[in-house]
Amino acid sequence: MTLSPELVDALTRFAAHREVLVATDFDGALAPLVLDPMSARPVDGAMETLTALADLPGTTVALVSGRALEPLRELTGAEEPIVLVGSHGAEDSRRPDGLVLTDEQRALLDRLEGALDRLAEQYPGVRVERKPAARVVHTRGLSRPLGEEALEAAEALGERHTSLVVTPGKEVVELAVAHVGKGAALVSLARELDADAVLYAGDDVTDEDAFAAIEDDPDEDRRPRHVSVRVGDGETRARHRVADEHELVEVFRVLLEARSASA
C-alpha cells in the first residue's frame, strides 16, 4: 500500500505545526459501509493509530459523524482524549448536558414518526434510524430504482416542513430539527483549539461540506495549511484521495510517525 508522494509530503508538513486538529468521518472512512449500521466496525489499526495520535502533545483527534453520539462511542470504542462530534455537529462529547431541543422541535420529531412509518410500509426494506435531533431514512440493500424512489419521497417529506434540515448521503436522507453541519462544527472546533492546521478525511456528501469549510476557513493563517482526504471515488473538493479505509489508516500511521519525530 503506497500513498502518493504529494500526500506524504503534505502530511510531513502538517505534522510540524505546533497545534493540529486531526478529524475524520466514521462510516466509509474508518469503517466499511454495511447493510446493518450497527454492525459497522473500524478496520484493523484505525482506532489504535488514532488513539496514539491523540496522546501526542498538541494533537487533538476528533471523530466527526452523522451518527448520534452514543452509537458512535459504542461502535468505535473511542475514549478521551478523542473528541466525538455526532449528529452532523449537533452533539459533542465534551458537553455532557447533550443536545437540548425546544418543545416545537420535539413536536416536529413526533409528527415525523407517523409519516416515516407510512413511508417504510410503502417501501419494504427501508429502515428509519432515530437520533436525538433527527430521523434518518436508510435504503442500503434495496434495488436501486426502489431505493432512489424512497429517498426522493423522504426528501419531499422533509421539504414540506420548512424548519427541517434535509441532508442526503449515500443511500440515506437525514431529516433534522437541529443541525450544525460537519463543516461548521469542524471550523468551530479548530477555532476553539487555536489549531494551526486541520486535517479532515471522509467519503460522503456531508464530508464535501467539511472539505469546503476548511478550504474557506475564516482564519487566513490556518486556511492554506489544511489537509483534506477523500476516501474512495467520486468528485471532490479534497486535495488528496485514498482508495479505501485501509489506506486512510496508512495516512494516520504516516502522520503518527512524522508527528512523533517532530515532538
Per-residue model confidence (pLDDT) at position 95: 84
Per-residue model confidence (pLDDT) at position 252: 98
Per-residue model confidence (pLDDT) at position 181: 87
Per-residue pLDDT of the chain (263 residues; tens, 9 = 90+): 589 999 999 999 999 999 999 999 999 999 999 988 899 999 999 999 999 999 999 999 999 999 999 999 999 999 999 999 999 888 899 987 767 788 998 999 999 999 999 999 999 999 999 888 889 999 999 999 999 999 999 999 988 888 898 999 889 999 998 878 899 999 999 999 999 999 999 999 999 999 999 999 999 999 999 999 999 999 999 999 999 999 999 999 999 999 999 76
pTM for the structure as a whole: 0.83
Q: Determine the Cα–Cα distance for residues 146 and 152; give it in Å rounded to an integer.
A: 10
Q: Determine the Cα–Cα distance for residues 138 and 33; give it in Å rounded to an integer.
A: 12
Contact in structure between 159 and 167 (CB atoms under 8 Å): no
Contact in structure between 239 and 10 (CB atoms under 8 Å): yes
Q: Determine the Cα–Cα distance for residues 30 and 13; give it in Å rounded to an integer.
A: 23
Per-residue model confidence (pLDDT) at position 178: 81
Per-residue model confidence (pLDDT) at position 112: 92
Amino acid at 113: E
Per-residue model confidence (pLDDT) at position 88: 87
Helix/strand/coil (H/E/C) assignment for every residue in the chain: CCCCHHHHHHHHHHHCCCCEEEEECCECCCECCCCCHHHCCCCCCHHHHHHHHHCCCCEEEEEECCCCHHHHHHHHCCCCCCEEEEHHHCEECCCCCCCCCCHHHHHHHHHHHHHHHHHHHHCCCCEEEEECCEEEEECCCCCHHHHHHHHHHHHHHHHHCCCCEEEEECCEEEEECCCCCHHHHHHHHHHHHCCCEEEEEECCHHHHHHHHHHHCCCCCCCHHHCEEEEECCCCCCCCEEECCHHHHHHHHHHHHHHHHHHC
Contact in structure between 226 and 17 (CB atoms under 8 Å): no
Per-residue model confidence (pLDDT) at position 171: 92
Per-residue model confidence (pLDDT) at position 153: 95
Task: Sketch out the chain's domains with CATH numbers.
Answer: 5-98+181-262 (3.40.50.1000), 103-176 (3.30.70.1020)
Residues marked active site are found at 25
Per-residue model confidence (pLDDT) at position 191: 96
Per-residue model confidence (pLDDT) at position 209: 93
